[in-house]
Structure 1
């Protein structure tokens, strides 16, 4: 009899071990769904203008991010009047050159790249096939390469920029790479491989394809804003020289390297992961404090999802189930009206509730199991 009870206890314990994570995942997904529903209701009832835009002063950009975020959580909302109006607004930004941006915009790469993400997700009936093909040609034409009269030895080579500065940067290059991936380009695509050259040069890592003067000045495996035009980091200069790495750009760099075909055991990927483990944080954008915090959360989630990381061990060996931790953190920061906003820093438009709510919803979409 005792042997029977012991066997039954072991069986129950085994079943509990299998079921408990499933129940935990289910509870987390339910929390995310409730939070996302509140965020979407905010955008629907308080965030959208009569012309269908979300923060229309940004051209197609924030509207496209909001559409993408909503459809990530509710694919069936494609026929919702809110989405139809937003798509009509984005369509009003289609340009003769194939770009998707406001007339006179100095952010043509950024606007077109995020618009592509939204249109690909909304393209269930093929209505945007022609538009997306033209937008792809337009984007590839913006890339800094031989068409701009530069060689592969130039630190600007392969990158993409806003257009208002005469140099590319990693943030815009990351959006550019995302758009090419959304359009179905494989890692061996010529434009993606050119972009990889720029990404690698934005990493504080000696050798491994990085031939910039900054490569071994910091050498911590993290990423900074741009190696072009003498180099720049939004986090400033490192002590003793060099350009400081920071969180959001490191996650952008990691994601971009993976999308361009680098494997998990590539030294550049390993170095980026080492920086991430040493600077794991949900309280700040490492190296930048509260600036760009929700951009950081979105990039953090998308990069770790792309890297197939479920649990991240930090520098002390503490395991972090990042999906659960990030989801709970974001849910705790949601405002009573369903929105999110960066109360500590309005830099990079993070005082804009529509933009920040889109970032939060996108981040939550990668936290679902």
Structure 2
């Protein structure tokens, strides 16, 4: 049985006890006014209409050489309430099936992003998997992803900083962004949190956190020690937010939410020092105006990880370290409304990571908005 959004939420009820993050009871629903809900629906419909109208004749978006964008758009449409029977979705799913390879992966033949493209495709097929129609596709793709994970198959010992991680899928070193996609895709495929692949990925995720502990003995762990996350400790270590003068790798928003979400999916306990430290970092760096530590770069990716992490955590009212309380769903809805273009799309003026592409940025925005919807 594949993991539903409802099961993901139920599995994370423990997170209601996270200190300072939640101020409402278990049964409480997201606090959204009628005006907020109307704004949400208006944004979603405009975004849906834009993506439907921007679909290429062959059923993809942007280009056939990057099917990950099309898979992300398809997932965004499905999670925004567009049924799998919709002609646009049916066409895109059929086209994505054309990328399935004999090894089970779902990727462009000359791609160096085989992990990323397969992970996003699993999410799309999982969201459309009515009656088990895509069971075999998802299961074969799961097996492919397991083979890409950096572990003993690559001759690595568990002490290696690359161990357990996932890269784009070529020979690139592993990173937290691709590893969080790996974990989420495996969970969507029905893999349990205690599965060896998930637990190996957790080893890597723990080493991307600026927290000195028995889970992280890398040279970087004690240099900043603020509980946030960065891109990768592998191959000498990299943070997209840069280094400190003594070689520390700076934490930043999108990776910290991705790391915390990944730990929840991997079954890390609420009282674990890693969860507590990450929770404190996000309490100190709440923002919708920027991707903390990165400014406007990767902003829409950040919106998506921000919303998915807080929704998975069942956070209703977000309390900052200074005591300020935020209705994060309402704030995100209205902030995205202020950024949406008249034609229904979103774009990022900071072009890094393809976010100037309206199809990609709009998909991220819709995925974020889907996390703001009241539970059905």
TM above 0.5, one fold?
A: yes
Aligned to 1:246: 252
Contact 1:312/1:319 (8 A) holds in 2: yes
Aligned to 2:42: 34
Distance 2:30 2:166 in 1: 42
RMSD across aligned positions (CA): 1.4
Q: Does residue 356 of structure 1 match 2:361?
A: yes
**5 Å matches for 1:330-369?**
330-343=336-349, 345-369=350-374
Q: Does residue 67 of structure 1 match 2:88?
A: no
Which piece of structure 1 moves more, 156-165 or 253-262? Answer: 156-165
Alpha-carbon distance, 1:34 to partner: 1.4
Q: Which runs of 5 or more residues in structure 2 are unaligned?
A: 1-28
**5 Å matches for 1:99-118?**
99-118=105-124
Aligned to 1:17: none
Aligned to 1:44: 52
Alpha-carbon distance, 1:57 to partner: 4.1
Instruction: Give TM-score scaled by structure 1 length.
Output: 0.91
1:145-201 Cα shifts (integer Å, max 9, x gaps): 011110111110000001345310000000000100111111101100000000000
Instruction: Give TM-score scaled by structure 2 length.
Output: 0.89
Aligned to 1:312: 318
Residue among 185, 191, 200 paired with 2:191? 185
Distance 1:278 1:109 in 2: 32
Aligned to 1:11: none
Distance 1:250 1:172 in 2: 14
The structure whose residues are more often helix, as a share, is 1
Higher relative CO (Cα under 8 Å, sequence separation at least 6) belongs to 2
Alpha-carbon distance, 1:25 to partner: 4.0
Tell me the number of residue pairs that the alignment of Structure 1 and Structure 2 aligns. Answer: 346
| 1:186 aligned counterpart, secondary structure | coil
Q: Which runs of 5 or more residues in structure 1 are unaligned?
A: 1-20
**5 Å matches for 1:224-263?**
224-263=230-269
Contact 1:28/1:368 (8 A) holds in 2: no
Aligned to 1:3: none
Q: Does residue 265 of structure 1 match 2:271?
A: yes
Distance 2:141 2:126 in 1: 11
Question: Radius of gyration: which is bigger?
Answer: 1
Aligned to 1:217: 223
Contact 2:303/2:365 (8 A) holds in 1: yes
Distance 1:58 1:348 in 2: 15
